[in-house]
Amino acid sequence: MSLNQQEIRVVIADDSAVMRGVLRTLFAQCASRHAGTGIELCGVARDGVECLQQVRHERPDVLVLDLEMPRLHGLEVVTQLHREQPRLPILICSAYTVRGARCTIEALARGASDYVTKPAESLESAQAMELLAQELLPRILSLAGRHTRTTVATGRRLAAEVSTARRVDVVAIGVSTGGPSALERVLPGLPADLPVPVLIAQHMPRLFTSVLAERLNAKCKLRVCQAEDGAIVTPGSILLAPGDMHMTVRRESAEPGAVCRIHLSHDTAGLPFQPSADLLFHSVAQTYESGALGLVMTGMGSDGLEGARHIHKQGGIVLAQDQASSVVWGMPGRVVQAGLTDTPIPLNEIARVVAECVISSRQGNGSSVRSSGAQSYAADLSLEMPYGVL
């Protein structure tokens, strides 16, 4: 059943009467202006206890959840619901503050699917409503599609061989929706002696990426930090692009062995996301040529597709996360559909496959990495709605 044939039932939970009113108005406007989306507000809660009651009674397709609530904190709500209803998409709606960022990252680690930040209080009501709609509605549509659709799967386990005849000199990762928790499962699995740098473009605001980098650094064998402009790219480091900035890498000169440095920019270049996986992938393909390994993980939209094409054209390796383990199979699904990689890789195997690709390629024996993955392609990727539906 497609999303256009059924209502997307949403419960919202927020202790602010103002915010509850804004969300009520938003969904009412959505119903009148975009009837085809079929979003129904089926429940409203004022605190964590009411939220649990509403979700258990209404069985919604998506929960929009504030974290700072009385009686039961939003983090405890996420923990309980992830245990009771693990397939329920939970969309965090949090304040753009250090505390809000830390709580949001923790909520994502506990099982929340994605987040949006609340509009600044200084904005006019109409402008705040529009900004919230642009962020909130596409995510609801995409997450509800994952929650309600029936995946067409072959039920087979396939083995994919990734050729490592070319030496891997850098790993670049593009990720969006579901990324923080996915990165938290992948990066700690990389060995402490990984002989190449890892560069990551995660779609998040700057305040959130700094918190995410701190959290990952505490869990990983490799050093993780938010990238700084001009920093030298060194083996064994993981650099996370600052939110709201593009990250690329450039070699200082054409001389053999010249160092590579990080370049940060606010130039949007017509791209919808900052940081952009496409720009990062283009730069590593240009700088490292066939030595680039690009990995596209869970996320909405198609960022990373064109950059993956460039890596593939230069003779590098392109990998993608599989559908079953992705919160949204938009970004990796586009790469698979384009034929830029073979069997997509389950989340719990990505660290091993990446490490083996790097290490095998540097042994000079032209070996291959053999990885198994569940082949489970959706019959209709159009269920995943792009940004900008308003």
Domains in the chain, start-ordered, CATH in brackets?
A: 3-148 (3.40.50.2300), 157-379 (3.40.50.180)
Tens of pLDDT, residue by residue over 70-116, are 999 999 999 999 999 999 999 999 888 888 899 999 999 999 999 99
Going by C-alpha positions, the residue among 246, 226, 224, 247 that lies closest to residue 236 is 224
Q: Which two tokens stand for residue 20?
A: 């509850």
Alpha-carbon gap, residue 311 to 301, rounded angstroms: 19
**Whether 176 is catalytic:** yes
The strand pairing partners of 160, in sequence order, are 371
Catalytic residue among 94, 142, 176, 237: 176
Going by C-alpha positions, the residue among 114, 132, 138, 125 that lies closest to residue 39 is 138
> Can you give the pLDDT at residue 123?
67
Q: What share of the chain in percent tops pLDDT 70?
A: 83
Catalytic residue among 15, 47, 142, 203: 203
> Can you give the pLDDT at residue 128?
77
**Whether 382 is catalytic:** no
∠ CA(275), CA(266), CA(207), 5° rounding? 60
What are the strands, taking DSSP E only, across the chain? 8-13, 39-45, 62-65, 90-94, 114-117, 157-163, 170-175, 198-202, 223-226, 237-240, 246-251, 260-265, 292-296, 317-320, 368-374
Return the minimum-mean-pLDDT range out of 77-91, 160-174, 205-219, 244-258. 160-174
Alpha-carbon gap, residue 264 to 244, rounded angstroms: 10
**Whether 163 is catalytic:** no
pLDDT at 234 over 70: yes
With a CB cutoff of 8 Å and minimum separation 6, the contacts of 264 are: 227, 228, 229, 241, 242, 245, 246, 247
Alpha-carbon gap, residue 31 to 239, rounded angstroms: 42
Q: Which two tokens stand for residue 383?
A: 């269920």
> Can you give the pLDDT at residue 167?
92
Do residues 128 and 106 lie in contact, with contact meaning Cβ atoms separated by under 8 Å?
no
Tens of pLDDT, residue by residue over 338-358, are 999 978 999 999 999 999 999
Q: Other CB atoms closer than 10 Å to residue 131's CB: what's the count? A: 16
Tens of pLDDT, residue by residue over 242-282, are 998 999 999 988 887 789 999 999 876 677 788 999 999 99
**pLDDT band of 390, cuts 50, 70, 90:** very low
> Can you give the pLDDT at residue 18?
86
